[in-house]
Amino acid sequence: MYAFEIERPTTIAAAAAALAHDGAQALGGGQTLIPSLKQRLASPEKLVSLTAIPEMRGVCLSDAGEVCIGGATAHATVAAEAAAHFPALAALASHIGDPAVRNRGTIGGSLANNDPSACYPAAVLGTGATIITNSRSIAADDYFDGMFSTALTEGEIITEVRFPVPQRANYQKFVQPASRFALVGVFVAQYAGGVRVAVTGASEGGVFRWAEAEAALSASFSAAALEGLSVPAEGMIGDLHGTPEYRAHLVKVMTKRAVAAA
């Protein structure tokens, strides 16, 4: 690890001001950044911790019935506090990493990093959630921009994520055996206006919506409705843990299982 300074602001405004300096880097729960620092793969001059800002922590229900999660809320908190209102989201949070990861890692950190195998992007895109930052609101469909890339600008802070609560939903994760990140993860959510299906882990383009499945499930919310559909292998990730063909196959299997379990 190289030497760096660290600030722990207690307001969003102070955090934004601190991040305005060149060489400053936001620090959420540190579950990706700290290992990178320890391996000397990153060398920020200053870390700005976002986890000491009370207004960015916790889970609540908005007047519109959305589940609102502060950007610095740990996965374990989501698992516990979202369970009553949005059990599928709570279940997803409860299976990220291990207890240490869940007690440190934050939803804002996960979404800002946008690891192509992370779980939260599937929930955000699969629900059409809204990302609230210190300067604007971003619709999920406008937020994700390929692996490790998002609509966030330099220094922009995810302060909150607002999830519209579906009629029913489920997340199915098939884990990569070593990291236990999603080799393929599928979030399925049914709303009055239709069904959304978001897939993480599989695509070289990062999290994506499976439009054909959404149409089929909007017409008939059943695993049988997916018969005959398939995801092309082209553009899927191929690595030690699975070929593009395998991942494409798993997308359908996990989607069917999510529908059945929703």
Asked whether position 41 contacts another protein by CB under 8 A, the answer is no
DSSP codes joined into one string, 60-79? EE-TTS-EEEETT-BHHHHH
Of the candidate residues 135, 179, 222, 230, the single one contacting another protein (CB under 8 A): 179
Asked whether position 249 contacts another protein by CB under 8 A, the answer is yes
Read off the tokens for 127: 């629900």
Nearer to another protein, 79 or 250 (CB): 250
Nearer to another protein, 64 or 240 (CB): 240
> How many whole angstroms separate alpha carbon 130 and alpha carbon 118?
18
Asked whether position 232 contacts another protein by CB under 8 A, the answer is no
How do beta strands 46-49 and 24-27 pair? parallel
- Give the CA distances from residue 29 to residues 51, 148, 257, in Å, rounded to whole numbers and listed in that order: 7, 17, 31
> How many whole angstroms separate alpha carbon 215 and alpha carbon 121?
21
Asked whether position 241 contacts another protein by CB under 8 A, the answer is yes
Nearer to another protein, 17 or 261 (CB): 261
Question: Which range binds another protein by CB under 8 A, 130-138, 187-195, 200-208, 234-242?
Answer: 234-242
Q: How many residues bind another protein (CB under 8 A)?
A: 16
Question: Which range binds another protein by CB under 8 A, 7-15, 140-148, 217-225, 238-246?
Answer: 238-246
- Give the CA distances from residue 230 to residues 13, 179, 225, in Å, rounded to whole numbers and listed in that order: 47, 27, 12
Q: For residue 168, which of 62, 87, 228 has the smallest C-alpha distance?
A: 87
- Give the CA distances from residue 8 to residues 12, 14, 19, 54, in Å, rounded to whole numbers and listed in that order: 11, 9, 11, 12
CB of 38 to another protein, least distance (A): 9
Sign of CA dihedral 6, 10, 11, 12: positive
Q: For residue 119, which of 261, 258, 259 has the smallest C-alpha distance?
A: 258
> How many whole angstroms separate alpha carbon 51 and alpha carbon 105?
10
CB of 242 to another protein, least distance (A): 4
Nearer to another protein, 162 or 180 (CB): 180
Asked whether position 171 contacts another protein by CB under 8 A, the answer is no
Nearer to another protein, 196 or 249 (CB): 249
Asked whether position 246 contacts another protein by CB under 8 A, the answer is yes
Asked whether position 242 contacts another protein by CB under 8 A, the answer is yes
Nearer to another protein, 14 or 253 (CB): 253
Which residues bind to another protein, rule: CB under 8 A? Answer: 1, 39-40, 174, 177-179, 183, 240-243, 246, 249-250, 253
